[in-house]
Structure 1
């Protein structure tokens, strides 16, 4: 069996932080079947800042029982049409922000979507896993522990 020393192992669920949005202590579910990552958001409103497209939204943190809300703003990267496993399509706003998982730190694109009926407010998709050089052991959870305070991103994007 091949092993790859440069890849970090994560579990099916992990603690993450999104320091660019000032969000920490988020539980994320790993979804290798999804290409793009998703952040639970509502009240999504596009606007312009200095002639550039931005988006304002309410980020929902915590669990279904103890939800906390934070107003956030981020540059708008694009709009993306997402097709669910049931065939429904939805157009979503896409932002890019730094993700911290364990001791790694790199930029990830997130679609903003309502996940109020879902247990996990954040999904990490395959593109984020590839960029972070991560492999998933679905038999494990919370392997990496809560992220340390984030460090600045290196030129390569991954710490």
Structure 2
């Protein structure tokens, strides 16, 4: 697991993850996407990923430009809470935060946002998968 600072954006419906080298492919007749996720805050870590393609979605940015993005689903850990979140894949290299959490992810996770506070959540404990050492 990699710690990653996220921008909470209740004005954005969809969550976004900084990704590059994005390509679609087929696996067993299903559509998948392969991409490099850029994780870490102070030290950048690149992680090559593959995930089933959930959808393609047209996203309008805050400056009004529309962009078609791939959508994947993965588990997100915030504190001791873990839930599935859909992320669009996009280049966020010019953004301060590599991960944006939109309102749908916050509602699905049953989170309440206090805009007057920052960094109120403890760092997550290391999670292990079943069968992992």
TM-score norm. by structure 1 comes to 0.76
Count of aligned residue pairs for this structure pair: 129
User: Which residue number corresponds to residue 101 of structure 2?
Assistant: 124
Distance 1:36 1:88 in 2: 15
Which segments of 5 or more consecutive residues in structure 2 lack a partner in the other structure?
none
Report the 3-state secondary structure (helix = DSSP H, G, I; strand = E; otherwise coil) of the residue aligned with 1:35: coil
1:10-59: CA deviations, max 9, x gaps?
Answer: xxxxxxxxxxxxx4201111000000000000000111111111100001
> What is the Cα deviation at residue 92 of structure 1?
0.1
1:99-129: CA deviations, max 9, x gaps?
Answer: 1111111110000000000110000000000
Match of 1:81 among 49, 54, 58: 58
CA RMSD of superposed structures (Å): 1.5
> What is the Cα deviation at residue 68 of structure 1?
1.7
User: Which residue number corresponds to residue 19 of structure 1?
Assistant: none
User: Which residue number corresponds to residue 103 of structure 1?
Assistant: 80
Match of 2:17 among 21, 39, 49: 39
Which segments of 5 or more consecutive residues in structure 1 lack a partner in the other structure?
1-22, 153-159
User: Which residue number corresponds to residue 70 of structure 1?
Assistant: 47
Runs of 4+ in structure 1 deviating by more than 4 angstroms, as ranges, are none
> What is the Cα deviation at residue 151 of structure 1?
6.9
